[in-house]
Structure 1
Amino acid sequence: MRTGTRSRYRRLLEWQRERLSDPPGDVAGLVHRYCRFLHAEGLPVFRANLSLTTLHPQIKGLRYVWQADHVEPGPFPSAALVHRSCQHLDGCTVEEAFLHYGARETPQFVRSPFYALRESGGDRLSLRIAPTAGKRSRRFPVLDDLAAQGATHYAAFQLRRTDGMISLVTRHSGGFDRVALARIADTLVVLESLLDSAIKDVVLDSVLRCYVGAGPATEIRRGNLSPGSMLTMDGAIWFSDIRRYSNLSRQLPPDQLVSLLNRYYAVLVEAIHVHGGDILKFIGDAILAIFPVAAGEPGGDACRRALAAVETASSGLAEADLGLQHGVGLHLGRFQFGNIGNHRRVDFTVIGDAVNVAARIEAQCSVQQQALLMSEDFARASGVPTRVVAAVPLKGLDGTHDLHTTGGGD
């Protein structure tokens, strides 16, 4: 092996070692540092596009677009967008996008070089970009856009290990020659190894949040996995379910019922999430969620966030016109949050009297013909005008309990 080649591989391995100390799951940062490394190695890339497939119940793909300049991304080119963010690092720009299922069936993807590379089954697609005067006539629309930015060469590579693809674009007058493409291919072996670990971390965090909620996901990542590992917390507790759900389940075919439930959940999940709540369980048609009280803080903010989520959910359901009515029971109290089960199956949940109170209050929504009921403790802490609907016994609890709803008395 020649001295220059040995030096190049040594620098690549040193760069790989440095990356092992990077924050876990920082795919955007990894893409940025990779492109900067290529530039330092005499491979001047001004744009890169990394496309990855994931095993995730909601997110099919990840997309990272790096540019060597500080730019503000324009409208997203695909209707499959779930989430999008942008970072500016060292004068460069990295755009991260999460895409839902169907992202690789959109017209934009079908007209892309990535689609052609995937269909060909090859490992590489190399396209020279000659300058043109205004006319958009290339086989791939993206090449017209890149030509307008001074691009001279577009190269796309399959990433077999991570089930993805990456494109690299240069403005260098000679483009990527045969040697440059071979050198890039060598670096991609290292990049894939680093990506494999980073993507697993991103997907693990996302899947955990999807299945158990943000709070439980954090505890799992901290290693609080053993059955019986519980935390004592204060917070507002949300319990809701759909009115006359049993009738619906008998009247609708299963596929229609599931579709209706998913549309209902889509409204409520977003409403709870946007106001800082954490959904812990779907129990058939019921939802159990918490709005944690920060340490040392009074409970009023958590209660007001829960009420704001109720209002947002009500507006969303009215707009969606699902033909559903539901009840929401709210309570403020202390509960135990953590892991129950055994070594074969564990579940993160909340337990305690406060949870039971919220469930019992929600059960009264149908009896009292109210869409929202809250406990005395919740109403007092919220500081918003309320009125007492009824004073009733609650199953399994002593005495009678005042049930409030929003709106002051006459």
Structure 2
Amino acid sequence: MQLSSTLAWLLDAAAETAGADRLLADLGAHLLADGLPLAGGTLTLDVPHPLIARRTWLWRTENAEVIEALGFAPAAFAPVPVAGGANDAGRRWLTGLAAQGRIHEDMIGARPDAPSLAWIGPHPFTQAEAAELHQAARFAAAPLAAITARATLMAALEAYLGRRSAARMLNAPLRRNVGETIQAALLFADLRGFTMLSDNNPPALVIAALDAWFDRIAGSVHVFGGEVLKFIGDGILAIFPVTEGAPRGACDAALRAVAAARTGMAHLDEERRRHGLTPLPFGVALHLGEMFWGNIGAANRLDFTAIGPAVNLVSRLEGLCRPLGKTVLVSGALAQQTDAPLIALGTHELRGIASPCAVFTLPED
């Protein structure tokens, strides 16, 4: 039996496609080359992601472009009811096309959450054309499963490790002591009084407080180009890697992230007071230094993390926030690389650190 060029491509090469969006576009192009009349196509997948539940891509024949629509997870954002408008018009348009026989849809697999592949024709599909599209969908199952597996792995790694760390880990051998020494602005933050909060409140309330805190501090880190390396109890370790040899950009980004987090926590504390809850005081320390960024651990159980004197110093520096009565402390090493207004607090001994550290803070306003 002679396979069409589309089916041969699906068997031999489609699994190496970069992503589901490219699979849709390339599959549509192959079907067109095999003589199928297509005006466009859609591919819908459920995806494992903290915020996104579903991804849909639309491919248009006239310009070969692919656009994407996201369906957010129920817990990610508050649902916004939509009545009328473009959404309803779009649904009516698709319903009308389906009634005309201009849409052919296949579920790829038997699971309830199986991917959906649909094609839009310039005219109603004939029985033979619909059979060819159905056959292509069957052959697309294996390459789509491979592409989805890669995307699932990357999404899971990014959710637990961060984007940079996930990419670095995938491109390096899974062995101990594999990594690199990098320079970065480091951020270490910690809630104060968390033990008392945990002892005096039910677990659900404690977890909600932790999530709200992490949303604000980690969200600010990500907005300004940093990456969260670790959640440590109620603490967080994040980095702003130095690029192109100049540390000033990383240091300024870390300071802007702290300012944003401080504003976000002020709004959160106001909201908590309105609900009769106590504020969430916290401390943040910033430092600039080098660290080893890579794999450590047992022979068969690894952790991708950052270690080194700079990591030790920034965590010890955060411990000075309470005795000095400050929310934010900045090391002398980072202070030298920024023009931001800082207030000198003198030189202080840090537990376990050989040399005293010059300490600065941000204005409290």
CA offset digits 1:89-137 (Å, max 9, x no partner):
xx2221234434339xx8999x9xxxxxxxxxxxxxxxxxxxxxxxx9x
Distance 1:277 1:392, change over 3 A: same
Tell me the equivalent position of 2:349.
393
Tell me the equivalent position of 1:373.
329
TM-score normalised according to structure 2 size: 0.86
Deviation at 1:369, TM superposition (A): 1.5
| Structure 1 residues 328-339: aligned runs within 5 Å | 328-339=284-295
SS of 1:378's equivalent? helix
CA distance in 1, matches of 2:81, 2:42: 14
Tell me the equivalent position of 2:215.
266
Judge conservation of contact 2:182–2:290 (CA < 8 Å) in 1: yes
Distance 1:31 1:107, change over 3 A: farther
Deviation at 1:11, TM superposition (A): 4.7
Judge conservation of contact 2:10–2:140 (CA < 8 Å) in 1: no
Q: CA RMSD in A?
A: 2.9
Judge conservation of contact 1:386–1:404 (CA < 8 Å) in 2: yes
Tell me the equivalent position of 1:159.
108
Judge conservation of contact 1:161–1:192 (CA < 8 Å) in 2: no
Tell me the equivalent position of 1:85.
none
Unpaired runs of 5+ in structure 1? 1-5, 70-90, 112-135
Pair 1:343-2:299 in alignment: yes
Q: Which residue identity lines up with residue 316 of structure 1 in the other structure?
A: G
Which of the numbers 194, 200, 209 marks the counterpart of 2:158? 209
CA distance in 2, matches of 1:301, 1:293: 7
SS of 1:294's equivalent? coil
Tell me the equivalent position of 1:92.
64
CA distance in 1, matches of 2:91, 2:54: 19
CA distance in 1, matches of 2:320, 2:61: 60
CA distance in 1, matches of 2:73, 2:187: 30
SS of 1:382's equivalent? coil
Pair 1:319-2:275 in alignment: no
Deviation at 1:198, TM superposition (A): 1.1
CA distance in 2, matches of 1:193, 1:303: 47
Distance 1:56 1:148, change over 3 A: closer
Tell me the equivalent position of 2:276.
none
| Structure 1 residues 200-239: aligned runs within 5 Å | 200-239=149-188
Tell me the equivalent position of 2:189.
240
Judge conservation of contact 2:330–2:359 (CA < 8 Å) in 1: yes
Deviation at 1:227, TM superposition (A): 1.3
What is the percentage of aligned positions where both structures have the same residue?
27
CA offset digits 1:5-58 (Å, max 9, x no partner):
x445355214543435543xx211111111222222232222322121234454
| Structure 1 residues 4-403: aligned runs within 5 Å | 6-9=1-4, 11-14=6-9, 16-23=11-18, 26-69=19-62, 91-102=63-74, 142-144=91-93, 147=96, 153-160=102-109, 163-172=114-123, 175-295=124-244, 297-320=245-268, 321-322=271-272, 323-403=279-359
**Equivalent residue pairs, number:** 348
SS of 1:223's equivalent? coil
Judge conservation of contact 1:152–1:169 (CA < 8 Å) in 2: no
CA distance in 2, matches of 1:159, 1:232: 45
Judge conservation of contact 1:151–1:169 (CA < 8 Å) in 2: no
Deviation at 1:301, TM superposition (A): 0.9
Judge conservation of contact 2:288–2:310 (CA < 8 Å) in 1: yes
Unpaired runs of 5+ in structure 2? 273-278
CA offset digits 1:252-282 (Å, max 9, x no partner):
2111211221122122222111211111100
Deviation at 1:312, TM superposition (A): 1.6
- Larger RCO (alpha carbons 8 Å, 6+ apart): 2
TM-score normalised according to structure 1 size: 0.77
